[in-house]
Amino acid sequence: MNHSGTPPLRIKKSEFEQRVSACRAMLAEQGLDAVIVNAGASLHYFAGIPWTPTERLVALVIPASGRPRMVCPHFEIGSLRECIMIDVDLLTWEEDVPPCNVALDAFLAGAKVGLDPEFSFRFVSGFKDARPDLRFGSAESVIDPMRARKSSSEIYLIQHAMSLTLRVHEAVFHALKPGLTASAIRRMIDEQHVAFGAPQGSYFCAVQFGAATAFPHGLAGDQILERDSLILIDTGCRIAGYHSDITRTYAFGSIPDLQAEIWAIEKEAQLAAFSAAEPGAPCHAVDDAARAVLEAHGLGPDYALPGLPHRTGHGVGLAIHEAPYLVRGNKTPLRAGHCGSIEPMIVFPNAFGIRLEDHFYMTEQGPEWFTRPAHDVRHPFG
């Protein structure tokens, strides 16, 4: 697949329409009369609307037959029309009207309605109170499998975001010097994301030195970079809503032999996990493969430390963490279009941690890396 050149600004209207049609087919298979999609990543997926969920109901009703219905505050019509990518009937509500009643008004008694699992309890209870004559359940079995298998357009956008963030990592690596604070490096990373083509800059950024690398999501405070330290940087951006998420851990100067040895084990575990991501293999096989490497080196077992304290990976797309999750017990078979991280972090409590994170996408033939794995602990970019 050719990922060079300027990415499309957004997914085409025809693809959004195909997603709605595919959703209808799944509704028929599962005996649902409709799903209601919450604002957030899933609304972006089905309708192209990048809307953050709030206490005001903004939702898409996809019925098994008939036109989709967009439910929103009346004063937001103009903003929604600017970004919606499918044809819908608009159902609006004023501030003194219970919005859940508006969303459900067209349903006949006894209809079975799947609710987006991302709805807050406020809305789930609101729907049930508004129409106790309806049968409500989770729409997870419809929404998650659809979003998990990416189209070629989605993979293209994720690839662009990943390639961009890898360039940022490398540029910052060459700009590091003693005395820089973690906050200064985060600002540098944000500026580099913008410079390389991510208009909103960094979506997130973690910069950790020394013992702070032992904490998967860092510690409070602003560290100062010193020579002969271990450094961990985890960052990403968004392109047309699709995320990148890459971690590099490496030596800034000299580091103890143990840290270099654990870095090599981390890379071995990452590559073993990648090799286990075969078409049709269960998601847990990827996690199993990483843990097998660690246990062979006397780490773990299971979630015991020193070792791997969390799952090996997660899906990525319009959310930075989404299905499928590469974790023990997940029997979901890997299929073409699945995308995920491989990051079997090794933690030595209160001492140091090593995390190498790259993502892959599944093809019919097997996994492909979005970004090349790190080279070695002192020269991560070769």
Query: Residue 80, Cα to own-chain centre: how many angstroms?
Result: 24
Gap between the Cα atoms of 89 and 332, Å rounded: 35
Q: With 60 as the cut, is the pLDDT of residue 1 above it?
A: no
Per-residue pLDDT tens digits for 48-92:
999 999 999 999 999 999 999 999 999 999 999 999 999 999 999
Domains (ranges, CATH) in the chain?
13-147 (3.40.350.10), 149-369 (3.90.230.10)
Per-residue pLDDT tens digits for 202-231:
999 999 999 999 999 999 999 999 999 999
DSSP label of 127: H
Q: Taking Cα atoms as reference points, which of 354, 374, 246 lies closest to residue 305?
A: 354
Q: Tokens standing for 293?
A: 């490497």
Gap between the Cα atoms of 119 and 117, Å rounded: 5
Three-class secondary structure of residue 132 per DSSP: coil
The dihedral through the CA atoms of 77, 80, 84, 90 has a sign that is negative
Locate tokens 């319009």: which residue?
A: 318
Global pTM reads: 0.96
Q: With 80 as the cut, is the pLDDT of residue 8 above it?
A: no
Per-residue pLDDT tens digits for 309-325:
999 999 999 999 999 99
Gap between the Cα atoms of 48 and 255, Å rounded: 47
Per-residue pLDDT tens digits for 230-253:
999 999 999 999 999 999 999 999
What pLDDT does residue 251 have? 98
Residues with Cβ within 8 Å of residue 381, at least 6 apart in sequence = 169, 170, 173, 374, 375
What is the bridge-based pairing of β-strands 229-236 and 246-252? antiparallel
Per-residue pLDDT tens digits for 10-44:
799 999 999 999 999 999 999 999 999 999 999 99
